[in-house]
Amino acid sequence: MTASVHRDVSTAAPTPDVLRDLLTTMWRIRAFEERVGALKRADEVHGLIHLSIGGEGVAAAVCRQLRDGDAVYSGHRAHGHAVAKGTPLDRTMAELMGREGGLCSGMGGSMHLVDVAHGFLGATGVVGGNIPLALGSALAAKQRGTDAVAVVFFGDGAVQAGLFTESVNLATLWRLPVLLVCENNGFAEFTPRSAHTTVERVSDVVAPYPLPRTTVDGNEVGEVWSAFSELLARARAGEGPALLECLTHRLRGHYEGDPDRYREAVSTEDWQRKDPILRLQRAGHDAGWLAADEPAALEAAARAEVDEAVAWARSSPFPAVARAAALVESGGAR
Amino acid sequence: MTRELTYAKAISTTIAQAMRADPDVFVLGEDVSAGGPFTTTAGLVEEFGAARVIDTPISEAAICGVAVGAAQSGLRPVLEIMYVDFITLALDQLVNQAAKAHFMSGGQLTVPMVLRTQGGAGQRAAAQHSQSLEAWLTHVPGLTVVMPSGAADAAGLLAAAMTAPGPVVVVENKVLYFRREPVPDPVEPIPLGRAAVRRRGRDVTVVALSRMVGEALAAAEELAAEGIEVEVIDPRTLVPLDLDTVVESVRRTNRLVVAHEAVRHGGFGAEVAAAVQHAAFDDLDAPVERVGAPFQPIPLSPPLEDAYLPGAAEIRSAVMTTLGRVPV
């Protein structure tokens, strides 16, 4: 087995219809998260809030190719993955506000989003903490003889945890249908990757293991789509796990309200160049599948949908205090 | 019908019975296909094959996480952590993932997994292979914690654990593995959260965990010869705790001793003592006595380990103290 996949992007390039879908999803995530940031500052959204603004392309390109029966796991920066996997914006927003109508009845919040109906089995607040859970879901698919897969998103900060290596070892040993998607934004919380490890590329960390590994520009949506498509097809066919490293950039700090003094500000010009949404729109205009007025319409539609989601979430009551004890009871042995 | 089985054989028999009945039940852990160091999974791979009796690398954190994920996706893993001392490596998965998934998801996820492990000293295994760490587990909402004291309970409680809706940790005891007793055939589940009164007595109630149940019964036998009748209660399940059975007993005896092998400091006995004094303060005629190990790691040297381990003598002494007599 080869240790690395040499992709031929042209063979798996997304169609214009797919790209328009991805752009729509990215705008929904962008609009949702910008609003979440504002609502956090207004103390309407609660908890530790980690935004993925600037990294929407990875979520959109990966999740667009999955089914409800596939299991997706994510970390603390999970809104984009959840929305891309199909969680309704209103119930997702309500969850961030701690409302009864939230995906998780307001019990989990931003770092613990779960939507079983859409195969989003969960975000976690412990960095790298649910990588092996994705292996477990993949094992279940394998035991039952289905072609379902499990996908876990994590940041480059998770790679230095022992659990990551334990999981890569097990995934390859058992040839599990699991796709490890690393969003390498170069920062683990406040600290640059170079201060935590001498290995720059996450795909190099797994080099000794027999799994395809590939690094792509995570802000180039089509590239992510194509690379993932190939790895996904292998996993569905029973050919085992793979690692996709997406080099991204987060425009915001580690969490909303962090001091953010640890990195240089991104210039507007630089950001215009990197922003995955703007890049896809430029590509769409150049290739002719995106009309000049479409981006504004997509953005407006996304913002309107978010407005409705916020109104719905605000109208949802807070859960009854007794709900917490009831959940301990229903999850236990009685 | 019953058959005479060792505690270890009772466990493998119960797992096999569950695996025959439910194709979603599978076993994973270190050396499980070889039966493990105590033969608790012996014979399973021969009957069910390597796809359902999965040997794992020494990666306690990852294999616990695999069990959690498999359970969330509908399987019923029975995970073995070979020594409870190694559960430290899996605690993030157990405490932050397994115990909280149902709650944090607003009830969408369930984690029907069993984590089997074993603790206890007495085999000269020193400080990293002999501990009793159940109190840590009882401190985490979302985990059910079971400690069987004999073969029949090891079978019945495990059978119940394997059909429970949430994560159950079964803490076995290595010293008990090769003790025999009659076990129902087929194995019948014993409801979790229900204590067993092992001996009736009017003078003092002794609540004992795991191996200490046998020690309490031995102490009770000796004390009976002196005219002191001890009631011995085995909670079997620490969480949820059958406090009603304990309180009902204390209302009759007016005296309570709690005995476990774990260090007394911060042990589960403190929780039982606090709960009972709150529920039955006016019925108590003496302070609650706690029997447990001293606040030390477990020494290797045989005379030191023997001195460290609490047993029937310490229970007897604690009973005498509650009666206001000078322990002999």
Residue B144: list chain A partners with CB under 8 A.
332-333
pLDDT tens-digit series, residues B4-44: 999 999 999 999 999 999 999 999 999 999 999 999 999 99
> What is the reported pLDDT for A260?
64
> Pairing state of beta strands A71-74 and A150-155?
parallel
Q: How far apart are the first and last CA of chain B?
A: 43
- Sign of CA pseudo-dihedral A236, A241, A247, A250: positive
User: Does A264 score more than 70 pLDDT?
Assistant: no
Q: Is B192 within 8 Å of A334 when comparing Cβ atoms?
A: yes
Cis peptide before B294 (omega within 30 of 0): no
Judged on CB neighbours under 10 Å (0-12, 13-18, 19+), B126 is: middle
Nearest CB to A136; choose among B73, B142, B164:
B73
- Decide: A64 and A21 in contact? Cβ < 8 Å: yes
- Decide: A148 and A237 in contact? Cβ < 8 Å: no
> What is the reported pLDDT for A266?
64
- CA of B191: which chain A residue's CA is closest? A334
* pLDDT interval class at A261 (50, 70, 90): low
> What is the reported pLDDT for A121?
98
Residue B64: list chain A partners with CB under 8 A.
132
**Whole-prediction pTM:** 0.95
Longest dimension (CA), chain B: 60
- Percentage of chain B lying above the pLDDT 90 cut: 99
pLDDT tens-digit series, residues B169-217: 999 999 999 999 999 999 999 999 999 999 999 999 999 999 999 999 9
Q: Which of B48, B58, B72, B93 to mutate to test the interface with A (most CBs of A within 10 A)?
A: B72
pLDDT tens-digit series, residues A106-116: 999 999 999 99
User: Does A263 score more than 80 pLDDT?
Assistant: no
More confident residue, A126 or A265: A126
Least confident of A262-271, A285-294, B185-194: A262-271
Q: Is A132 within 8 Å of B68 when comparing Cβ atoms?
A: yes
- Spatial CA neighbour of B146 closest among B168, B177, B175: B168
Residue B27: list chain A partners with CB under 8 A.
none
* pLDDT interval class at A265 (50, 70, 90): low
Contact pairs from chain A to chain B, CB under 8 Å: 174
Residue B31: other Cβ atoms inside 10 A: 14
List beta partners, residue A243: A180, A213
Residue B106: list chain A partners with CB under 8 A.
102-108, 114, 327
Measuring CA to CA, how many Å separate B229 from each of A61, A290, B216, B277?
72, 88, 12, 21
Q: Write down the ipTM of this complex.
A: 0.95
Q: Give the residue-averaged pLDDT of B219-226.
A: 98
Token output for B209:
């965990």
> What is the reported pLDDT for B328?
58
Residue B52: list chain A partners with CB under 8 A.
143
Query: Cα distance from A129 to chain B (closest Cα, Å)?
Result: 7
Q: Is B73 within 8 Å of A140 when comparing Cβ atoms?
A: yes
User: Does B326 score more than 90 pLDDT?
Assistant: no
Q: Is A122 within 8 Å of B105 when comparing Cβ atoms?
A: yes
pLDDT tens-digit series, residues A228-252: 999 999 999 999 999 999 998 777 6
Q: Give the residue-averaged pLDDT of A279-306.
A: 97
Cα gap A192→A249, rounded to integer Å: 12
Cα gap B83→A226, rounded to integer Å: 46
Least confident of A94-98, A149-153, A253-257, B106-110: A253-257
A277 CA to centre of own chain: 16
User: Does A61 score more than 80 pLDDT?
Assistant: yes
Q: Is A170 within 8 Å of B237 when comparing Cβ atoms?
A: no
Q: Which of B104, B110, B168 to mutate to test the interface with A (most CBs of A within 10 A)?
A: B104
Q: Give the residue-averaged pLDDT of A142-167.
A: 96
Q: A286: left (phi > 0), else alpha (psi -120 to 50), else beta?
A: alpha
User: Does A8 score more than 90 pLDDT?
Assistant: no
Q: Is B73 within 8 Å of A121 when comparing Cβ atoms?
A: yes
Domains in chain B with CATH codes: 2-184 (3.40.50.970), 196-322 (3.40.50.920)
**Burial track B203-217 (b if 16+ CB lie within 10 A, e otherwise):** bbbbbbbbbbbbbbb
- CA of B102: which chain A residue's CA is closest? A331
Residue B163: other Cβ atoms inside 10 A: 17
Residue B164: list chain A partners with CB under 8 A.
332-333
> What is the reported pLDDT for A2?
35
> What is the reported pLDDT for A6?
41
- Spatial CA neighbour of B213 closest among B255, B175, B259, B180: B259
Domains in chain A with CATH codes: 9-331 (3.40.50.970)
Token output for A289:
């599948």
Cα gap B267→B234, rounded to integer Å: 16
> What is the reported pLDDT for A188?
65
* pLDDT interval class at A5 (50, 70, 90): very low
User: Does B141 score more than 90 pLDDT?
Assistant: yes
User: Does A191 score more than 90 pLDDT?
Assistant: no
List beta partners, residue B28: B54, B79
pLDDT tens-digit series, residues B297-320: 999 999 999 999 999 999 999 999
Query: Cα distance from B192 to chain A (closest Cα, Å)?
Result: 7
List the catalytic residues of B.
60, 129
> What is the reported pLDDT for A3?
38
> Pairing state of beta strands B237-239 and B144-146?
antiparallel
Q: Is A140 within 8 Å of B63 when comparing Cβ atoms?
A: no
List beta partners, residue B204: B230
Query: Cα distance from B105 to chain A (closest Cα, Å)?
Result: 5
* pLDDT interval class at A4 (50, 70, 90): very low
Q: Is B142 within 8 Å of A332 when comparing Cβ atoms?
A: yes
Q: How far apart are the first and last CA of chain A?
A: 49
Residue A133: other Cβ atoms inside 10 A: 33
